Amino acid sequence: METLCNELKVEIFRYVFTPIALVLLNCNWHSTFQDPHVRAEWIIYKYGRAHALFHAIRLGNHFVTVEVVQILAKKAIILRYFMQRLMIQFGTYDPKLIKGNDLELFHYLTAGALTINQAPAVLLENLNYIEDLNKKFMLFHCAQVSVLRPKDIPAYRSPFGGATENYLSRDGYENNRQVNLISRAILIHPDLVVLWKKIGYNEICSDFNELVIVDTLLVCFPPNPPNNWVCPSTEVITEKTTKII
């Protein structure tokens, strides 16, 4: 292991799920991981170009350096919404200047306040605006990561007794309400996935497939079905799920 060339060590680090074991092995491997190129390659491979910078900042001063950020700026996807959230999350800011962000605009354009039956007409009417927005916007965390929030962070509860989540969340991730907004829009118009892939957000399917399928089943089997609800046949369910897989 000591005689391995640097290029091979970089490749080994890239595929290691948790590199701390190698870092603690000896000074040689510890020195290798201090290289900002090694750190950047590892986090891009682990989290993808779409989420690399978010997780680099999440890991804190022990991981992220100016040099690492400079490399990620060239290789990762850095969009306007990420900067909007950073301005809100850190330091001081003018609340009037920061009011509103791309997520709120996406909520408006995709008719997030309307029911699933009313929203498609509004979404299709705003499709050109959504296509332009998606060049600058995506949630900056993997939806699957949200279930891994630290257990010591308490759930927020509404006065009505139901569990709710604050925006911004204390752990930095998007909350479930924001994530479900994206999955609902994809359910209404699956071609939104293609728009995100065009900017390099190739993780969009792995991030949201499960949520979109769950939303599809909720449409088929609503928790509070109306009086005229008819149980869908196997063929109908298969047809709906096949369209989004």
Residue 28 has a pLDDT of 83
Decide if pLDDT at 122 tops 90: yes
How much is the average pLDDT of 41-45?
91
- Average pLDDT over the chain, rounded to an integer: 79
Q: How confident is the model at residue 120 (pLDDT cuts 50, 70, 90)?
A: very high
The yes-or-no verdict on residue 151 having pLDDT over 70 is no
Kindly tell me if the per-residue pLDDT of 163 is higher than 60: no
**pLDDT in the model for residue 168:** 54
Q: Of 3-12, 67-76, 120-129, 131-140, where does the model show the most confidence?
A: 120-129
- The residue among 86, 31, 74, 12 whose CA lies nearest residue 49 is 74
Question: pLDDT digits over 79-114, tens only?
Answer: 888 877 777 766 666 665 556 688 889 999 999 999
With 70 as the cut, is the pLDDT of residue 190 above it?
Answer: yes
